[in-house]
Homo-oligomer: A and B are copies of this chain.
């Protein structure tokens, strides 16, 4: 697997665009397009929130029932959630407009929105935005960059990644972009993620690969514990790499899983590290748990705790808060078997042994916890399973950003 530059336009046949459409923000790009020159197999995973935004309802239909997908239209600023029939109708109109401009079927167009919940989208400006997007679309890296920038909300950096693998003697490219900074919590977050690949693969295996992978990537991050109404992660595969179509779980499938896993994990970590107000990526790895599910629960519980997150903000190795968060994770374990380490930049220090504090050096611990990427390693001494979860610190700026997000 070779890591390359780029995002959604890295794979053959994909174009993108990002334009100013004046949806809510002024003087910045706020609508994005992804387009494939040929039809794509599509797979998707969507929010587990009972309150689902209109675009989520639309996309679920497209992924489940359309013969193929060929374009995605995204807007930032307004989430089109809690908008009733009018909101869903807006999705249909957007898809219809894009279909007309791109000369593809209406049911091949996916739509996605992120931003304030409860407001209706300005349909006329969305329509004008679609026209601009279609005129601007291109297969250059710059077009991919425009697309990822146009869907940012409180994100501070655009997030994209791409890799290449060899499948059946052909070079296959997998690229992706995502946005997400607040309302980020597993079960899909207010994250929008789009992966494009020129791989040829059956629809069923594409969906299976995606569904299996998110459990250990996007669903293992949390910024604030709030599961959004709009979470969407879609993979489009257009087959232009020319590899023999993957129709069974063979070595080629495994290669793709590895590439997809890398892209998903990279994007997920970028989202966690760019959490609203965050100054650090906060990783927790749990090893020697009894089961994989237990390892996931324990690691997630640690990165989700307001108190551990504030501790990372303060660079303070407060072992008690980590033990506390492990203790309410819903796993029945013996606290006296737990070892905990903190790590960063290749330095590691044991701060808890057998459930009790070690006699560690506070200054050294503070130094380790002051890095831009810090890791807590928890050894449960119960079995062979492990999991990693990613979050960020809780800062004044998180409160500032969210105390009046709409203004």
- Binary CB contact string for chain A from 296 to 332 against chain B (1 if under 8 A, 0 otherwise): 0000000011110011011010111101111111011
Binds B, one of A16-24, A43-51, A100-108, A204-212: A43-51
User: In the bound complex, do residue B327 and residue A51 qualify as a contact, i.e. CB atoms below 8 Å apart?
Assistant: yes
User: In the bound complex, do residue A79 and residue B321 qualify as a contact, i.e. CB atoms below 8 Å apart?
Assistant: no
Q: Given A307-B183, A331-B50, A320 and B229 touching (CB < 8 A)?
A: yes
A265 to B52, CA, bound (A): 35
Binds B, one of A81-89, A158-166, A382-390: A81-89
Q: Which residue of B lies closest to A335 (CB)?
A: B51
- Binary CB contact string for chain A from 206 to 223 against chain B (1 if under 8 A, 0 otherwise): 000000000000000000
Please give, as numbers and ranges, the residues of chain B lying within 8 Å of A402 by CB-CB distance.
306-307, 310-311, 314, 394
Interface presence of A131 (CB below 8 A): no
Copy total for this chain: 2
DSSP class of A's interface residues: helix, strand, loop or mixed? loop
Please give, as numbers and ranges, the residues of chain B lying within 8 Å of A354 by CB-CB distance.
84
CB distance from A404 to the nearest CB of B (A): 4
Checking B118, B224, B352, B357 against A319 with a beta-carbon cut-off of 8 angstroms, the contacting residue is B118
Interface presence of A127 (CB below 8 A): no
Please give, as numbers and ranges, the residues of chain B lying within 8 Å of A321 by CB-CB distance.
117, 226
Interface presence of A395 (CB below 8 A): yes
A83 to B355, CA, bound (A): 8
User: In the bound complex, do residue B81 and residue A328 qualify as a contact, i.e. CB atoms below 8 Å apart?
Assistant: no
- Binary CB contact string for chain A from 67 to 107 against chain B (1 if under 8 A, 0 otherwise): 00000000000010111100000000000000000000000
A117 to B351, CA, bound (A): 13
CB distance from A234 to the nearest CB of B (A): 21
User: In the bound complex, do residue A324 and residue B357 qualify as a contact, i.e. CB atoms below 8 Å apart?
Assistant: no
CB distance from A66 to the nearest CB of B (A): 25
Interface presence of A349 (CB below 8 A): no
Please give, as numbers and ranges, the residues of chain B lying within 8 Å of A50 by CB-CB distance.
326-329, 331-333, 335
Please give, as numbers and ranges, the residues of chain B lying within 8 Å of A336 by CB-CB distance.
84
The B-contacting residues of A in range 141-195, CB under 8 angstroms, are 182-183, 185, 187
Interface presence of A225 (CB below 8 A): yes
Please give, as numbers and ranges, the residues of chain B lying within 8 Å of A399 by CB-CB distance.
310, 313, 394-396, 398-399
User: In the bound complex, do residue B320 and residue A82 qualify as a contact, i.e. CB atoms below 8 Å apart?
Assistant: yes
Please give, as numbers and ranges, the residues of chain B lying within 8 Å of A229 by CB-CB distance.
320, 323-324, 327
A337 to B3, CA, bound (A): 49
User: In the bound complex, do residue B319 and residue A225 qualify as a contact, i.e. CB atoms below 8 Å apart?
Assistant: no
Interface pairs (29), CB distance under 8 Å: A48-B328, A49-B324, A49-B327, A50-B327, A50-B335, A51-B324, A51-B326, A51-B355, A79-B320, A81-B320, A82-B320, A82-B352, A84-B336, A84-B356, A117-B318, A118-B356, A187-B328, A225-B306, A226-B306, A229-B324, A306-B402, A307-B402, A310-B402, A311-B403, A314-B402, A314-B404, A318-B405, A394-B399, A394-B402
A-side interface residues toward B, CB under 8 Å?
48-52, 79, 81-84, 116-119, 182-183, 185, 187, 224-229, 304-307, 310-311, 313-314, 316, 318-321, 323-329, 331-333, 335-336, 352, 354-357, 394-396, 398-400, 402-407
